[in-house]
Amino acid sequence: MLIRNGVAVLVNGPVRLDIRTRDEKIVEIAEQLTPEPDEPVIDANGKMILPGFIDSHVHFRDPGGPQKEDFLSGTRAALAGGVTTILDMPNTQPPTDSWERLLEKVAIVAPKAVVDYGFYLGATDTNIEEAASIAGEIAAMKLYMGSSTGSLLVTEFSPIYRHFSTFPSDKPIVVHAEDEQSLKYFGALGSQEHNQARPPVSAQIALSRALAIAEKTDRVLHVAHTTTERELELIQEAKNKGVRVTCEVTPLHLFLTEEDQHRIGNFAKVNPPLRSEKDQQALWRYFATIDTIGTDHAPHTREEKKQPYEKAPSGMPGVQTMLPLMLNAVSEGKVTIEEVIKRCVINPARIFGLKTKGALEIGKDADIVLFDPNQEVEITDEQMLSKCGWTPFAGRKVKGKIEQVFIRGTLAYEQGTVLAQPGSGKAMQY
């Protein structure tokens, strides 16, 4: 296939280029390529050619939460959002915390996937040796230092330290950094403001602990969903000292604040919470410190979210809205397109060892998004392909529209319609 006349976003920015794909790969990139006999040609005049986005943080609820999402609905939502690779978190039901559970999950979800995928293994108090021994089959280990959705939790020093010192030194350990003891303390004070029930200091305590342990054990630490200025200061300081730490921010925290809890109630409840406007602004100011943008796509049904504060589960969907929101931020001049591609494609591929992904480059998988930067689109609940059927961004107008998505050279999505067949998504090799 030949994609002609588009503006391709490469590592260093947008360039007017033609791209040829063959046998699932990008095989040629040049200023001008001539179609071969019988070669399908796509005219991308006026469009941007983006590498498929990688969402390294999703919760597709499969197995265990089919009323919220399953791997088919989750990956369809990803595809419609220009996300061609996802990494699925382990707090499913049952949790993915052993080799056996990982194999069970693969068997359940592989026949449903329409985008490429990888998995996290959840750390427990006791699976230290096992986690280390199967590290080559997973994207990373996920360690919950504070309670969130599901039962995975490791709070004591000994198992945390042993996980870090036993896990392979070249593989990331991803932490949910909220401190359990302080969450219990602040939670018991009874505030219904989520940002007070799980305040920034809880994140700061857990992060400081994780950074100290990563430094001492010389392991690769990736901090999920950072939300505050203080966390980014600590991470930047650790980076300056040579600690192997990278960090993520979610579009939820980039584009919403605690005020949104007053607007949409518990639909805006998420762990860690939406923060103050001051912290939100700091995320943009510290954009250079942020390595990845992951959505923390965590769907819950409307009925679940309408329950009282104490009962309503935490998490919001987001896999379908990351690309439109980030590219809209580009159109508003908040960040450059190459800064977005770095955090949504290049860095996640590098950090999680996704060798065949990560850029519009010869030899990489032909995961390609054709994007019309000039159309204006309103985000609506109805467009969402997630089973939960709602988005906290409903009503937002964004500049730019995803027109076509190719996965490994095959047209998988076009103008609102998913064309990919269940099971066409492939498991990542590391």
Binding interface with Zn ion (CB under 5 A) = 296
Nearer to Zn ion, 56 or 347 (CB): 56
Which residues contact residue 422 at a Cβ distance below 8 angstroms, ignoring those fewer than 6 apart? 72, 111, 112, 113, 114
Q: Could you check whether the bond before residue 392 is cis, i.e. omega within 30 degrees of 0? A: no
Q: What minimum distance in Å lies between the beta carbon of 177 and Zn ion?
A: 12
Torsion of the alpha carbons at 125, 130, 133 and 138, rounded to the nearest 10: -80
| Structure-block tokens of residue 103 | 């194999």
Q: Distance from first CA to last CA of the chain, Å, rounded?
A: 27
Q: What minimum distance in Å lies between the beta carbon of 143 and Zn ion?
A: 12
Nearer to Zn ion, 55 or 296 (CB): 296
Nearer to Zn ion, 199 or 299 (CB): 299
User: How far, in Å, are 2, 56, 346, 413 from residue 417 at the CA level?
Assistant: 22, 24, 27, 6
φ and ψ at residue 311, rounded to 5 degrees: -95, -30
| Structure-block tokens of residue 185 | 């303390």
Q: What minimum distance in Å lies between the beta carbon of 295 and Zn ion?
A: 9
Question: Cβ(252)–Cβ(296) under 8 Å?
Answer: yes
Nearest to 297 by CA among 152, 3, 19, 91: 91
Nearer to Zn ion, 52 or 318 (CB): 318
Question: Cβ(114)–Cβ(75) under 8 Å?
Answer: yes
Q: What minimum distance in Å lies between the beta carbon of 70 and Zn ion?
A: 17
Query: What amino acid occupies position 272?
Result: P
Q: What minimum distance in Å lies between the beta carbon of 271 and Zn ion?
A: 8
Q: What is the number of alpha carbons within 13 Å of residue 84 lying toward its C-beta?
A: 28
For the sheet with 172-176, list strands across it. Answer: 53-58, 83-88, 116-122, 140-144, 172-176, 220-223, 245-249, 292-293
Question: Cβ(387)–Cβ(68) under 8 Å?
Answer: yes
Give the other-Cβ count within 10 Å of 304's Cβ: 18
| Structure-block tokens of residue 234 | 């600590």
User: Catalytic residue at 296?
Assistant: yes
Nearer to Zn ion, 223 or 398 (CB): 223
Q: Please identify which of the residues 296, 365, 367, 381 carries the catalytic annotation.
A: 296
Nearer to Zn ion, 60 or 393 (CB): 60
Q: What minimum distance in Å lies between the beta carbon of 57 and Zn ion?
A: 6
Which residues are registered as beta bridge partners of 13? Answer: 10
| Structure-block tokens of residue 225 | 């969903």
**SS3 label, residue 379:** coil
Q: What minimum distance in Å lies between the beta carbon of 142 and Zn ion?
A: 8
Nearer to Zn ion, 296 or 367 (CB): 296
Q: Which residue is nearest to Zn ion (CB)?
A: 296
- The catalytic residue positions are 296
